[in-house]
Amino acid sequence: MGLAVVALTRVTAFNFNISLSLLFYATVFCIAFLGYNFIKFFSLYLENRFNKSKFFPLFFPPIIITLIVVLIGLSSFTYAALGLVFLAGILVLLYSIPLSKKRKNFRALRGLKIHLVALAWLIITFYLPLVFFETVDLDNSIFLTVQRYVFVLVATLPFEIRDLNSDDFQLSTLPQKFGVRNTKLLGVILIIFHLSISFFIIKTPLDFFIIESFVLLVLMVLILKSNEDQSEYYSSFWIEGIPVLWCSLYILLR
């Protein structure tokens, strides 16, 4: 997931023609790594499935290394950037930590799960790079914000379809509310909406628009092929690889 976050951050840099340091990207990667593993292992802890003797020796060294990288990277961040990282951290905590003795967190609130994920990705991959450049042209930032939110929302749909049978019904995920077929249809509509913004409003340069269209077409195919019985790595590899594909094609274009 960390690589996908870095790749999508790089896409933002391409969109606004800004240059970010290797330390910045390393910090973003490590922030994503820490956030993902906190969510994963905290849930295991709540379910009394966390085996300290098994997991601690394995993950202690990389966690210490990523913490060091994050601390070094954050030391060069502006106050605005630190505020965004703090906000993203709050979202991770709200996603994971129970708000009451009934072990209910924000993730468990009806229909909120997918939006917490989209908002966290939006903060780190879109707004965080922009706060480093006061001279960035923000004319289309509102529409690009909507696009990024929609993209993450759509890319999350295969995960929700995969988890349909394991998620608590009270989560009220999109597949639970509307069914798998209608969720896929929603994904297709949102992808068309995303491309419409690029073509009619932002007027993305043709070469960039062709790449964006190809990437979203691949995502659409993967959404349509997704199901509850998808392979273990269908979402965690192929779907998370979409931002990497997008970034790679932009780099080749340069």
Q: How many CB atoms within 10 Å of residue 200? A: 8
56 and 121 within one domain:
yes
Q: Which of 138, 159, 180 is the last residue of a domain?
A: 138
Domain count, the chain: 2
Are residues 236 and 36 in contact, defined by beta-carbon separation less than 8 angstroms? Answer: no
Q: Which of 115, 138, 161 is the last residue of a domain?
A: 138
- Dihedral sign for Cα 14, 15, 17, 19, please: negative
145 and 37 within one domain:
no
143 and 42 within one domain:
no
pLDDT value of position 53: 47
165 and 100 within one domain:
no
pLDDT value of position 107: 57
- Dihedral sign for Cα 175, 181, 187, 193, please: negative
147 and 123 within one domain:
no
Listed residue (122, 124, 121, 114) closest to 73, CA to CA: 124
109 and 28 within one domain:
yes
104 and 156 within one domain:
no
Are residues 245 and 217 in contact, defined by beta-carbon separation less than 8 angstroms? Answer: no
**The pTM of the whole model exceeds 0.85:** yes
77 and 185 within one domain:
no
Beta strands in 101-170 (DSSP E): none
143 and 129 within one domain:
no
185 and 112 within one domain:
no
Show pLDDT as tens, one digit a residue, over the chain (254 residues).
789 999 999 999 998 888 999 999 999 999 998 888 776 665 555 555 555 545 556 677 888 899 999 999 999 998 999 999 999 999 888 776 665 555 555 555 666 778 888 999 999 999 999 987 765 666 778 899 999 999 999 999 999 999 888 777 767 788 988 999 999 999 999 999 999 999 999 999 999 999 999 999 999 999 999 999 888 788 888 999 999 999 999 999 87
Are residues 158 and 235 in contact, defined by beta-carbon separation less than 8 angstroms? Answer: yes
200 and 122 within one domain:
no
Q: Which of 93, 108, 138 is the last residue of a domain?
A: 138
241 and 203 within one domain:
yes
Domain around 88 = 1-138
